[in-house]
Amino acid sequence: MPGNRAVIYRGPGHVEVEEIDYPTFELQDGPGVNPDNVGRQLPHGAVLKVIATNICGSDQHMVRGRTTAPEGLALGHEITGEVIETGRDVEFIKTGDLVSVPFNIACGRCRNCKERKTGICLNVNPDRPGSAYGYVDMGGWVGGQAEYVMVPYADWNLLKFPDRDRAMEKIVDLAMLSDIFPTGFHGAVTAGVGPGSTVYIAGAGPVGLAAATSSFLLGAAVVIVADLQEERLTQARSFGCETIDVSRGEPADQIEQILGTREVDCAVDAVGFEARGHGEQAETERPATVLNTVMDVTRAGGAVGIPGLYVTGDPGAADDAAKHGSLSLQIGLGWAKSLAFTTGQCPVMKYNRQLMMAILHDRVNIARNVNATVLPLDQAAQGYAEFDRGAAQKYVLDPHGSIA
């Protein structure tokens, strides 16, 4: 049996690559594992050799100490890999298959899964609906920023790539299918983006850039991306986006300069709970800023997609209310404009096959648009540090040197 190494959270601002147990078909006790999940038998699972595993902004929230994540947690929920072992109940997935792993863990059996709401599966997390690998309050499933990882309900969860050689040629693009590409696409779809739409996207991190890419794929006429980091705005402009530097003032004023009107058809919040203010308040954390802004700039009767992460526990928040996820929202504004809102985890399985086909048939180049940058597993700490400083890159870890 080979060894296994993984990226481990060791406290605010600190990750280490350490030896961990090789995966088995039983969920073991460990940091963050719900006691009701300890000893859970997983004959429906598969063990993967990890080909690519990405650093996500959601991981960064934990590493900054902005969640209740326990020290010792093995991180990573964006996983692409090769199946090397299957449990006795796995029927269709085979050893040797190259697969994408949706970051949502879903059973395929509960009411929500049967309704395609795989982001809120009822059977995999005793704490609440919904689960993910290597994430706080998600049941304790071991993260995939590792050499090997176990995926439960393999026949249901795994997306098999149809041709291995062709997939390896585009493996960095396909690595985005586990989370950020479907998540950005979900944000755009739920915001109502379609042919001819004008779109405002708050945040030029990887999810925001994926939402912008998705908006073009859906036929948007104008995509406006807002951020504080000039490097990230430059990346957005590299594939045709208009951009707004919110440190220079209110987005509506800058939208008017681009469109001739202060409102857009559709808006996406790709920032989440660590949002900062606009203009002179750009250096101050104001977690409700983006939500209030997207309500302000979206036309009456429009829709807002909110793939940006919001949490129920934020020990580093600026005020007591925000520490419990309570924000000062202008919900009356949203009500008065009859806006529709969609929040929560993206149900990755709703979109990942279609987006896979778009990648394989050269309809989209998501890796280029998010500036995917490959690092060996041993450089994970460097990737986290650079990402935390606002680098306009999506870091992809390559545990086995598999990516050419």
Contact by Cβ (8 Å): 227, 201: no
Residue 282: what pLDDT?
Answer: 82
C-alpha span between 313 and 316 (Å, rounded): 9
3-class SS of residue 53: strand
Percentages of the chain per state (helix, strand, coil), in multiples of 5 = 30, 20, 45
Phi-psi sector, 282: left (phi>0), alpha (psi -120 to 50), beta = alpha
Residue 321: what pLDDT?
Answer: 85
Where are any strands of DSSP class E within 159-263? 159-160, 198-202, 222-227, 242-245
Nearest CA-CA partner of 185 in 196, 199, 169:
199
Q: Would you write out the chain's pLDDT as a tens digit for each of its 404 residues?
A: 689 999 999 999 999 999 999 999 999 999 999 999 999 999 999 999 999 999 999 999 999 999 999 999 999 999 999 999 999 999 999 999 999 999 999 999 999 999 999 999 999 999 999 999 999 999 999 999 999 999 999 999 999 999 999 999 999 999 999 999 999 999 999 999 999 999 999 999 999 999 999 999 999 999 999 999 999 999 999 999 999 999 999 999 999 999 999 999 999 999 998 888 898 888 888 889 999 999 999 999 999 999 999 988 888 887 888 888 888 899 999 999 999 999 999 999 999 999 999 999 999 999 999 999 999 999 999 999 999 999 999 999 999 999 97
Phi-psi sector, 390: left (phi>0), alpha (psi -120 to 50), beta = left
Sequence-ordered list of residues with C-beta below 8 angstroms from that of 64, at least 6 positions apart, any chain: 12, 13, 274, 316, 388
C-alpha span between 232 and 389 (Å, rounded): 11
Q: What are phi and psi of 79, to 5 degrees?
A: -130, 135
Nearest CA-CA partner of 99 in 154, 25, 23, 61:
154
Sequence-ordered list of residues with C-beta below 8 angstroms from that of 12, at least 6 positions apart, any chain: 63, 64, 65
CA end-to-end span of the chain: 26
Residue 12: what pLDDT?
Answer: 94
Quick: pLDDT tens for 51-70: 999 999 999 999 999 999 99
Q: Which residues pair with 285 in a beta bridge?
A: 276
Domain residue extents for the chain:
5-179+347-398, 181-343
3-class SS of residue 246: helix
Sequence-ordered list of residues with C-beta below 8 angstroms from that of 326, at least 6 positions apart, any chain: none
C-alpha span between 157 and 35 (Å, rounded): 24
* Residue type at position 178: S
C-alpha span between 53 and 79 (Å, rounded): 5
Q: What is the CATH number of domain 5-179+347-398?
A: 3.90.180.10
Measure Cα distances from 378 to 72, 73, 387, 400 in Å: 17, 17, 16, 11
Choose which CATH entry (3.30.200.20, 3.40.50.720, 3.90.25.10, 3.40.630.30) describes domain 181-343: 3.40.50.720
Residue 355: what pLDDT?
Answer: 98
